[in-house]
Amino acid sequence: MAWIVPLVVGVFLVASLVPQSRSFVITVETGGLSLVVTKSALSNWLFPQAHVCLRREANLESAPASGIAECDSRAYEVRKASDLNVAWTPGTELRITRGGETASLRIEIRPGEAPPTTASFLQGEPATPVEIPLPVGSFIVVKGGDWPDNGPLGFYGFAVLGSKPSPGSRSHLISGRYEIRETLFLRSNPIAVAGSSFFAGDQVSVVSAQGSKPLPVEGFIDVAENQRNRGFGVIVHAVATKGRMMVERSGAETAYITSRWFERAANDPIIIGAAVLLGLLMSVVELFTRLRSIG
């Protein structure tokens, strides 16, 4: 009978080391984000002021005035848009970039299998409602002066944060950190069991536990918290109980990051308390056993 209580406490400790759910919270400042949208309802973007660059079927010989340096008006028809609203079609592939002081945010529609997304906005004086498709090769530009006043851009899909540094590229990850949160046995609230910082130039994504199949994440794009003139901020939340984080770094092997049992044990006060209790109970049992052998 003296072993029943320690046995129960020990079973609880072992069960507590197996997570019931796991999520990754990733916060970065980056110059680039690759995204494949999978849920339109969570990927509805609003821009108070923006320019839409629509790819022409054939280039013009001379460039009409467009008022925007980021868009070659010989290859693109440029539309200045107010209250631009875009609900991205599932399957749309995007590349979002911003690099350098006062730079514009650039959202490029990459080749994919999704039908074109339709954008609605106000154009001209007086403002007139307009709807247009956004074909592959088109992009949206939010000028650097307008970007700090823009609201967050939510998304749900497969995301790759940053890119490996290359000559002329400014889409690399600038800074950031991650936190792994887990819900443990008989607990309703998740706890932080692990976390650390990224290096500049890391490329980060959430993938399956086996291999590197991408897993969907939910997040939003916003103005960078600390440095408003460099890149943009991204916050990602991924519920991936059977997933892990993949970090690709120049000059190093790909790293796969997940939580480990000793990190749970070191960060959960209930596990720490139960371990202390188990130690005390074992001491009592040992003392009781010795006393009985003497008697």
Across residues 81-88, what is the average pLDDT?
Answer: 92
pLDDT at 192: 78
DSSP per residue over the chain, as a string?
Answer: -TTHHHHHHHHHHHHHTS-SEEEEEEEEEESEEEEEE--GGG-EEEEEEEEEEEEPSS--SSPPP-S-TTS-TTTEEEEEEEEEEEEPPTT-EEEEE--STTPPEEEEEE--SSPPEEEEEEETTTTEEEEEEE-TT-EEEE-TTTGGGSPPEEEEEEEEES----TT---SEEEEEEEEEEE-TT-SS-EEEEEEEPPTT-EEEEEESSTT-B--EEEEEE--SS-TTSSEEEEEEEE-TTEEEEEE-TTS--EEE---HHHHHHH-HHHHHHHHHHHHHHHHHHHHHHHHHH-
pLDDT score of 228 more than 60? no
Q: CA 216, CA 240: separation in Å to the nearest integer?
A: 9
pLDDT at 258: 84
Q: Encode pLDDT of 123-158 as tens digits.
A: 777 778 889 899 888 999 999 888 888 889 999 999
Torsion sign, CA atoms 29, 35, 38, 40: positive
pLDDT score of 169: 78
User: What pLDDT shows up at residue 248?
Assistant: 93
- Report the sign of the C-alpha dihedral through residues 142, 148, 154, 157, in that order: positive
Binned at pLDDT 50, 70 and 90, residue 88 comes out as: very high
pLDDT greater than 70 at residue 239: yes
DSSP states along 26-87: EEEEESEEEEEE--GGG-EEEEEEEEEEEEPSS--SSPPP-S-TTS-TTTEEEEEEEEEEEE
Q: Which two tokens stand for residue 165?
A: 């540094």
pLDDT band at 250 (very low <50, low <70, confident <90, very high): confident
Spatial separation of the C-alpha atoms in residues 258 and 262, rounded to whole Å: 12
* Res 240: pLDDT: 79
Q: How confident is the model at residue 261, as a pLDDT?
A: 54
The CA–CA distances, whole Å, from 62 to 57, 65, 79, 137 equal 15, 10, 18, 20
| CA–CA separation, 80 and 232 (whole Å) | 22
More confident residue, 122 or 67: 122
Strand partners, 237: 25, 218
Is the model's pLDDT at 268 over the cut of 80? no
Average pLDDT score over residue span 208-236: 84
| Residues 6 or more apart in contact with residue 199 via CB below 8 angstroms | 249
Cβ atoms of 30 and 162 closer than 8 Å: yes
